[in-house]
Amino acid sequence: MKKGLIVFVVLMIFVAVTPAFSASENDVVGKWLTDGGKSKVEIVKSGNEFKGKIVWLDEEVYPADDPEAGVVKYDRNNPDEKLRPRPILGLELVWGFTYNAKEHKWEKGKIYDPESGKTYNCTIKLDDKGNLDVRGSLDKWGLVGRTTVWKSVKE
């Protein structure tokens, strides 16, 4: 009975740490529709690093109910005043990722949230449906944070 329980626990641990979908390094390259459909991010490989910028916005100007209605959206919430004039369209949103072939994920990257002006640690995994699970976190282990799903854009 004890031996059977140990085998079961070992198998469950193996299943939990084995990725359900095997990715290759360049699978992240391309255009992705962010969660909620507000923007598209194009991820490219530059040297050994992966990074991405906003290439499309559903609304390029602030809406009528905003104090800056009609103004082209800019990085107004950035804590660095010198960076605030940057337009959101074209803004580098993710950067610094390297591919971990053993775990089939892109890691050690950063993601910037222009709505809050905050930057988070980030990892990216490709799920079995071909979507990206983008996890921004406060800690380097990814324990405290949230995951959003980005869908591939075929143009």
Q: Please report the pLDDT score of residue 63 as a whole number.
A: 97
* pLDDT tens digits along 18-56: 444 567 999 999 999 999 999 999 999 999 999 999 999
Task: Say yes or no to pLDDT of 14 above 50.
Answer: no
H/E element, 11: helix 2-17
Q: How far apart are CA 94 and CA 153, in angstroms?
A: 17
* pLDDT tens digits along 68-85: 999 999 999 999 999 999
Whole-angstrom CA distances from 12 to 5, 6, 16, 18, 96 are 11, 10, 6, 10, 33
CB 34 within 8 Å of CB 152: no
